[in-house]
Amino acid sequence: MLTLPNYQISTQIYESANSLVYRGHRKKDNQPVILKVLKQDYPTPEELTRYRQEYYITRIIAADLQGVVKAYGLEKHQNTLVICLEDFGGKSLKMWLDKQRTFTLDELLTFAIRASEILGQIQAQNIIHKDINPSNIILNPNTGVLKIIDFGISTQLSKQHLTLKNPEVLEGTLAYMSPEQTGRMNRALDYRTDFYSLGATFYELFTGKVPFESFDAMELVHCHIAKQPTPPHQINPDLPSAISNIILKLLEKTAEARYQSAWGIKADLEECKLQFANNGTIEPFALAQKDISERFQIPQKLYGRESEIDTLVAAFERVASGKAEMMLVAGYSGIGKSVLVK
């Protein structure tokens, strides 16, 4: 068990590939805290930089937002760093799901609405979270308080260009990662990547399963890029199709086809909650009627090349299954060959 001079640690509550997370209290004022420490005794400069970034971004945005866990301090401990965070008595949605805690449909809608609202507030501060998933959404079901954590790979950018990486070293959580965040789509990464991850999170919240399941990282990347998830209401027959449709819209392959604002997501979820409260049922309705983006985005979608794209995607699927192929793309100079292939 970790020992720190200024804190009394009671229990370890989480372990990831890079970090250990403990619950305890601060000795000087008995303040409950969460302590997050790098796992390695001698962390790399990149890991230390990531921890500093997580602390500074969290501290900045939590000052204005109730929906983000507060950062109390960043301290040196031997050769590593410790982040001291607010403890409001919550556990991650992932932990609640793993414990098979049952929530009513009304409760799940409340959680989804609140998560959408917080994400919109984060994005209003020009932050792309890049790792929205059930482990990074913390809930105290006794108080109803829900907060978002872990800004270690977040960026203070409106748009980011990614390079191709091995799936094993991608930033983020692969089961919830948008197609463009895999670095294999030649698409700039913007705030809408978080909507895809939010959709994958809602998928698991309402069905108990992730959209795509595989132990192979490359196969998961392929699924996010090229395969359609099973509609959530087919997995959970009790789930209204309206909620299923919202989740599927969030999981669209191209950012342009998803919701364009967190407020649009929230509005549709609130319509579901209102119908359920008034009628005990939720009827399908036209989505995204209040979805108005506050940001001007030039579409990255390629128009008029659907047939060629289908041919390339089909070839990609055959290669992903283990076959070898070579394709040649021909055309006049400037006609768009490079854009098509990328």
DSSP class per residue in 89-158 = S-EEHHHHHHTT----HHHHHHHHHHHHHHHHHHHHTT-B----SGGGEEEETTTTEEEE---TT-BS-S
Q: Which CATH class is domain 91-279?
A: mainly alpha
Provide the residue-wise pLDDT of the chain in tens; the chain has 342 residues.
Answer: 788 889 999 999 999 888 999 999 999 999 999 999 999 889 999 999 999 999 999 999 999 999 999 999 999 999 999 999 999 999 999 999 998 788 999 999 999 999 999 999 999 999 999 999 999 999 999 999 999 999 999 998 655 555 545 555 577 899 999 999 998 777 788 999 999 999 999 999 999 999 999 999 999 999 999 999 999 999 999 999 999 999 999 999 999 999 999 999 999 999 999 999 999 999 999 999 999 877 655 565 666 777 877 887 788 778 877 788 888 888 766 566 666 665
How many CA atoms does the CB half-sphere of 311 hold within 13 Å?
Answer: 11
Looking at domain 7-86, its CATH superfamily turns out to be Phosphorylase Kinase; domain 1 (3.30.200.20)
pTM for the whole structure? 0.85
In the DSSP assignment, the letter for residue 298 is: -
Contacts within 8 Å (CB) and 24+ apart, 176-181? 176/131, 176/132, 176/133, 176/200, 176/201, 176/210, 177/224, 178/224, 178/255, 179/224, 179/225, 179/253, 179/254, 180/255, 181/130
Distance CA 224, CA 7 (A): 43
Neighbours of 234 (CB within 10 A): 12
Closest CA to 204 of 93, 284, 282, 106: 93
pLDDT value of position 338: 66
Angle at 268 between CA 267 and CA 271, to 5 degrees: 90
- What are the boundaries of each domain within the chain? 7-86, 91-279, 306-341
Closest CA to 107 of 272, 312, 330: 272
